[in-house]
A and B are shown apart, each in its own frame.
Chain A
Amino acid sequence: MSNLAKALNSARVRGWLYQGLFLACALAVAWYLVSNTLTNLSTRGVATGFGFLEREAGFEIGESLVSYSASDTYLKALAVGLLNTLAVSAAGVVLATVLGVLIGVARLSSNWMVSRFATLYVETIRNVPLLLQLVVWYTIMNRLPSPREALEVVPHVFLSNRGMKFPVLAEHAGHGWVLLALVAGIAAAIAAVRYGRRRREATGRPFPTLPLAIAAVLLPPVAAFVATGAPLAFDVPELTGFNFEGGGSVTPEFTALLVGLSVYTAGFIAEIVRSGILAVPHGQTEAALALGLKPAQILRLVILPQALRVIVPPLTSQYLNLTKNSSLAVAIGYPDLVSVSNTSANQTGQVVEAVAMMMAVYLIISLCISGFMNWYNRKVALVTR
């Protein structure tokens, strides 16, 4: 008895006990919620389970990165939606970053006009709800002329309220080799950059990194292109019936969503970039100037590496926001994961499964993004010696 009392009074045992109790409660609540839902669904005669994924979807999807038709399964339809979400998110992250960095640097510019415009941009864009902005962008896209009166911006590139149509290279066996050469070229360029940096750090002598890297990326694909017989035929869009046929296209829904997400997120990224740069003490710049570095070198070699430490963590959450905000696509008709899941849930009546899948997928995407950004953050973190 006294042994038991002693054990109960030990901090270690108590710690385990309370944590065990908490875990048991959490599991019990989760189990209750799941079993209660399942029981209620079955008493109401509602089908449960993921069997519907194998059934024919029976509805079309407006745009798809892979071939899809109404006779494919729900699983394929959801995969198409997921790919669309990933496509718009990835493009949005790149575009928002570029735009955000530009605006952020512009806000610090000594040019009055430039810095005021950047301030105006940030304050306006950040303070108007994203949904409204998306609707505005979509309305602008729909105000473009009809396909029959499409604007021909440059020859064979058409802009209409059905989106942008442009020529693409007609498929040819040689293209695989060109792509392979491009990948090899990029690998060579990365190697050149690394070698250049190591040599500079070891000897202090500069190395012509940039021209070499450009040559490494460009030359192999061009060589492969010529070697495989230069197949330069284009698939050109042409007006037939209701719309253009052939060529590549970007839909108004995709454009509106991409532009809306990028412009909105760029406003936040600009502020993050500005705060990151301001966080580097001015003494660093002066010291670099005293060493005789050029302004571009100061930004690249002194300011940015230190600013990135401040920038990366909040930037990660902006990327996550952008990805999750892409689900607003349903409001302007872009067939993203949520849109396709909603239709699937509607047709099968299996709302719980559809929502659970959506949640799991967004969770996985977000965890991947934050995992990558954490890795990058550790890489740019200040190395203390």
Chain B
Amino acid sequence: MKTSLRSLAAAATLSVSAIALSALTMAGTAQAGATFDGVKQKGYVQCGVNLGLYGFSAPDDKGHWAGLDVDMCRAVAAAMFGDSEKVKYTPLSAQQRLPALQSGEIDLLARNTTRTLTRDTANGLNFGPTNYYDGQGFMVSAKLGLKSAKQLNGATVCVLPGTTTEQNVSDYFRANKMNFKPVVIEKNEELNKAFFAGRCDALTSDASQLAAIRAAEAQNPNDYVILPELISKEPLSPAVRQGDEEWTNLVTWAFYVMVQAEEKGLTSENVDNALTSPDPDVKRLLGVTAGNGKALNVDEKWAYNIVKQVGNYGESYERNVGAGSKLKMARGQNALYTDGGLMYAPPLK
């Protein structure tokens, strides 16, 4: 029985690979998935974003969405339609985000979502490349003169309950043989107020959120510092539903274009000049040498449109969360691999 099942499975695998092979050999006529076709037909990308997290996805005073995650949505729209504005945004809470994607209400989830094994499997999602490497950190008053989280022995720490924040901070102090007193408040605003009033020596959360809280709520943001230690891994990544490889591919490579463009020094300013570049990599990237667009079933100008309209990853980073924004976060792990970071695009060929 067991063997017959196994042979059946093997046969099934074989036939699936046979279909895949035949699809590959008939390049260009690859079967489009439901999401890819649906998006193409309706003419815009329905993108799930945060209710309002400055630097990642928040509407500005004119109601125009901006942020690192918003740029992810725009890049996909630019690749698909040649117009980065063909996006409709669905603001989602942490509880709503996964059901919204699973049920098909949105096509793409770019909402500072940590990629985990459970979400990638049991929850029926597929993740694109990480567009922000985050981790839980500590923010303290600059007056304390602390240089490291290892100096926090005996401190009172404000913690937002919710995901695994409480356990992470307990683990960290235990591992370093230090004591602390948590103050756990369910409401974000109350917790932040308590911290800025001096109830706690440190506030702990994802480092990007600490920076956003500091920029938006501190009376003088320079009075607070974020300590260098990150005590957990939070790779924030865009997510799509399982079952549409074509759509997953487009989201994945749309992001890699931004990273590759930064590596090649292409920006929204100079990309027009780069069209005449003799570099074969740049030629392939910008569609001067055809091939990539056809493989993804989009226009050959797809990558050019992303760089021209959204910019490369570095531009997007600096504009939204880096030096050009209120958050002023250093590149750190989010620098290109050539600068010691983790951002690395596979060859686009």
Most buried by B among A60, A161, A253: A60
**Is the beta-carbon distance between B170 and A60 smaller than 8 angstroms?**
yes
**Is the beta-carbon distance between B198 and A62 smaller than 8 angstroms?**
no
- Among the 9-residue stretches B21-29, B67-75, B184-192, the one with 4 or more Cβ atoms under 8 Å from chain A is B184-192
Q: How far is the CA of A139 from the CA of B180 in the complex (A)?
A: 22
Residue of A nearest to B180 (CB): A60
CB distance from A117 to the nearest CB of B (A): 31
Does A109 count as interface, using CB distance less than 8 angstroms?
Answer: no
CB distance from B340 to the nearest CB of A (A): 33
Residue of B nearest to A149 (CB): B198
Does A335 count as interface, using CB distance less than 8 angstroms?
Answer: yes
Q: How far is the CA of A139 from the CA of B194 in the complex (A)?
A: 8
Question: Which of these, A60, A135, A142, A346, contacts B181 with CB under 8 Å?
Answer: A60
Can you identify 15 A-B contacts, CB atoms within 8 angstroms? Answer: A58-B167, A63-B181, A139-B193, A142-B197, A142-B199, A146-B198, A161-B198, A162-B199, A240-B154, A332-B190, A333-B183, A333-B184, A335-B184, A346-B162, A347-B166
Q: Could you say which residues of chain B place their CB within 8 Å of the CB of A331? A: 185-187, 190
Does B221 count as interface, using CB distance less than 8 angstroms?
Answer: no
Q: How far is the CA of A241 from the CA of B197 in the complex (A)?
A: 19
7 closest A-B pairs by beta carbon, nearest first, are A142-B197, A333-B185, A70-B170, A59-B166, A333-B183, A330-B186, A59-B170
**Is the beta-carbon distance between B166 and A343 smaller than 8 angstroms?**
yes
Most buried by B among A59, A142, A146: A59
Cβ proximity bits B161-185 to A, threshold 8 Å, 1 near / 0 not = 1111011011101100000111111
Q: Could you say which residues of chain B place their CB within 8 Å of the CB of A253? A: 183
Does A143 count as interface, using CB distance less than 8 angstroms?
Answer: yes
Say yes or no: A347-B199 contact (C-beta < 8 A), given A253-B183, A342-B161: no
CB distance from B123 to the nearest CB of A (A): 11
Q: How far is the CA of A374 from the CA of B190 in the complex (A)?
A: 39
Q: Could you say which residues of chain B place their CB within 8 Å of the CB of A137? A: none
**Is the beta-carbon distance between A333 and B194 smaller than 8 angstroms?**
yes
Q: Could you say which residues of chain A place their CB within 8 Å of the CB of B122? A: 45
Cβ proximity bits A300-333 to B, threshold 8 Å, 1 near / 0 not = 0000000000000000000000000000001111
State which size class the interface on B falls in. 20 to 34
Q: Could you say which residues of chain B place their CB within 8 Å of the CB of A332? A: 185, 190
CB distance from B253 to the nearest CB of A (A): 33
Q: How far is the CA of A302 from the CA of B63 in the complex (A)?
A: 70
Q: Could you say which residues of chain B place their CB within 8 Å of the CB of A59? A: 166-167, 170, 182
Does B246 count as interface, using CB distance less than 8 angstroms?
Answer: no
Cβ proximity bits B138-174 to A, threshold 8 Å, 1 near / 0 not = 0000000000000001111000011110110111011
Q: How far is the CA of A143 from the CA of B193 in the complex (A)?
A: 10
Does B201 count as interface, using CB distance less than 8 angstroms?
Answer: yes
Question: Which of these, A70, A135, A161, A240, contacts B190 with CB under 8 Å?
Answer: A135
Given contacts A142-B198, A333-B183, 5 further A-B pairs with CB under 8 A are A62-B182, A242-B156, A243-B154, A330-B185, A332-B185
CB distance from A346 to the nearest CB of B (A): 7
Cβ proximity bits A106-144 to B, threshold 8 Å, 1 near / 0 not = 000000000000000000000000000001001100110
Does A71 count as interface, using CB distance less than 8 angstroms?
Answer: yes
CB distance from A72 to the nearest CB of B (A): 11
Q: Could you say which residues of chain B place their CB within 8 Å of the CB of A162? A: 156, 199
CB distance from A343 to the nearest CB of B (A): 6
Q: How far is the CA of A139 from the CA of B197 in the complex (A)?
A: 8
**Is the beta-carbon distance between B174 and A70 smaller than 8 angstroms?**
yes
Q: Could you say which residues of chain A place their CB within 8 Å of the CB of B190? A: 135, 138, 331-333
**Is the beta-carbon distance between B194 and A142 smaller than 8 angstroms?**
yes
Q: Could you say which residues of chain B place their CB within 8 Å of the CB of A243? A: 154-156, 201
Q: Could you say which residues of chain B place their CB within 8 Å of the CB of A333? A: 183-185, 190-191, 194
Q: Could you say which residues of chain A place their CB within 8 Å of the CB of B182? A: 59-62
Q: Could you say which residues of chain B place their CB within 8 Å of the CB of A342? A: 161, 186
**Is the beta-carbon distance between B161 and A346 smaller than 8 angstroms?**
yes
Residue of B nearest to A69 (CB): B174
CB distance from B105 to the nearest CB of A (A): 20
CB distance from A134 to the nearest CB of B (A): 10
Residue of A nearest to B161 (CB): A343
Residue of A nearest to B189 (CB): A135
Q: Could you say which residues of chain A place their CB within 8 Å of the CB of B185? A: 330-333
CB distance from A242 to the nearest CB of B (A): 5
**Is the beta-carbon distance between A143 and B181 smaller than 8 angstroms?**
no
CB distance from B198 to the nearest CB of A (A): 5
**Is the beta-carbon distance between B167 and A252 smaller than 8 angstroms?**
no
CB distance from B86 to the nearest CB of A (A): 36
Within 8 A of B (CB), among A63-85: 63, 70-71
**Is the beta-carbon distance between A62 and B194 smaller than 8 angstroms?**
no
Q: Could you say which residues of chain B place their CB within 8 Å of the CB of A252? A: 199
Q: How far is the CA of A331 from the CA of B187 in the complex (A)?
A: 6
Q: How far is the CA of A62 from the CA of B156 in the complex (A)?
A: 9
Q: How far is the CA of A142 from the CA of B156 in the complex (A)?
A: 14
**Is the beta-carbon distance between A62 and B183 smaller than 8 angstroms?**
yes
Within 8 A of A (CB), among B174-228: 174, 180-187, 190-191, 193-194, 197-199, 201
Does A97 count as interface, using CB distance less than 8 angstroms?
Answer: no
Q: How far is the CA of A114 from the CA of B184 in the complex (A)?
A: 40
Q: How far is the CA of A245 from the CA of B181 in the complex (A)?
A: 13
CB distance from B136 to the nearest CB of A (A): 14
Most buried by A among B155, B161, B186, B199: B199
Question: Which of these, A58, A139, A161, contacts B170 with CB under 8 Å?
Answer: A58
